[in-house]
């Protein structure tokens, strides 16, 4: 059960038209996909916790843990999370280090040592610097808060593997250097956040396609293996049949030879008796 308030990231034709104008490939993707309703968490603390949960795990796993956290604790506030035992947080499906980070940040905010609302008055770089001073928070986590909560317009994270993968798929690249990434980031500015939303979608689409292709390849391999096994079985059966026929022929020949021997013996015995 989701208890945390969400909303849709706000953007429109102005941002989409700009990106169409500066990059025809991205523009074509925008036209094909249409407007994306990107769900975000406007309240800073739960958004920060969600970003921490998402560190170095899949989106599916992050959503599962996030749902458990909400279902178990209901109220996702610094004051509430700060007094929850570490083991209870960990039991939502995360490692003890990440659970400790969440609890530690909740305690810092609950004590008034950090005012999250002060982030609204800071630049993107200042927000990243301020949050990165906390244990367990790096540049990527701060950037996710900037985009997925504060709705800052020009966030595109090099630390996000899905965004990098989206760029590589879009432009047919086999690798992406930091310099290349910086070039695309500059091209998308000042609407990098909307570009990120589409790059995430492209990355997801191609990941699904790759998985389907892998499944098809596995099926083809299984079919080929079945055919090979069938051929081997047929060969083995043919060999066995040939062996059986040879054995039957040998037995037939042996029986015929034995009968001829017996006839010759009978003839010899008749002559001797005469």
pLDDT per position as a tens digit, 73-124: 999 999 999 999 999 999 999 999 999 999 999 999 999 999 999 999 999 9
Report phi then psi at 77, rounded to 5. Answer: -130, 160
Q: What are 172-198's pLDDT values in tens digits?
A: 999 999 999 999 999 999 999 999 999
Residues comprising the chain, all counted: 274
What are the start and end residues of each CATH 1.10.340.30 domain in the chain?
7-154
- State how far the Cα of 144 lies from the Cα of 160, in Å rounded to an integer: 9
CA distance 193 to 9: 10
CA 155 to chain centre: 22
pLDDT one-digit tens code per residue, 222-260: 555 555 555 555 555 655 555 555 555 555 555 555 555
Beta bridge partners of 39: 8
pLDDT of residue 270: 38
| CATH number for the domain formed by residue range(s) 7-154 | 1.10.340.30
pTM higher than the cut 0.75: yes
Q: What is residue 266's predicted lDDT score, i.e. its pLDDT? A: 47
> In the prediction, which pLDDT does 247 show?
57
- In this prediction, residue 210 carries a pLDDT of 59
């Amino acid at each position: 059960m989701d208890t945390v308030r969400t909303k849709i990231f706000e953007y429109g034709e102005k941002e989409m038209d700009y990106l169409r104008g500066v990059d025809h490939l991205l523009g074509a993707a925008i036209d094909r996909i249409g407007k994306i309703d990107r769900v975000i968490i406007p309240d800073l603390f739960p958004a920060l916790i969600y970003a921490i949960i998402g560190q170095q795990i899949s989106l599916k796993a992050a959503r599962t843990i996030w749902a458990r956290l909400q279902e178990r604790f209901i109220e996702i506030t610094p004051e509430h999370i700060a007094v929850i035992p570490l083991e209870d947080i960990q039991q939502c499906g995360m490692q003890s280090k990440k659970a400790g980070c969440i609890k530690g940040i909740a305690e810092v905010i609950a004590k008034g040592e950090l005012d999250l609302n002060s982030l609204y008055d800071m630049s993107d770089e200042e927000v990243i610097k301020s949050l990165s001073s906390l244990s367990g928070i790096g540049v990527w986590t701060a950037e996710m808060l900037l985009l997925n909560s504060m709705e800052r317009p020009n966030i595109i994270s090099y630390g996000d593997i899905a965004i990098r993968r989206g760029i590589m798929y879009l432009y047919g690249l086999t690798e992406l250097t930091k310099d290349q990434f910086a070039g695309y980031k500059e091209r998308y500015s000042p609407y990098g956040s909307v570009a990120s939303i589409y790059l995430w979608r492209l990355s997801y689409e191609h990941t699904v396609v790759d998985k389907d292709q892998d499944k098809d390849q596995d099926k083809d391999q299984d079919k080929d293996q079945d055919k090979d096994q069938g051929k081997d079985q047929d060969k083995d059966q043919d060999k066995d049949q040939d062996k059986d026929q040879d054995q039957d022929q040998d037995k037939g020949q042996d029986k015929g030879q034995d009968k001829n021997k017996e006839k010759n013996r009978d003839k010899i015995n008749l002559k001797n008796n005469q």
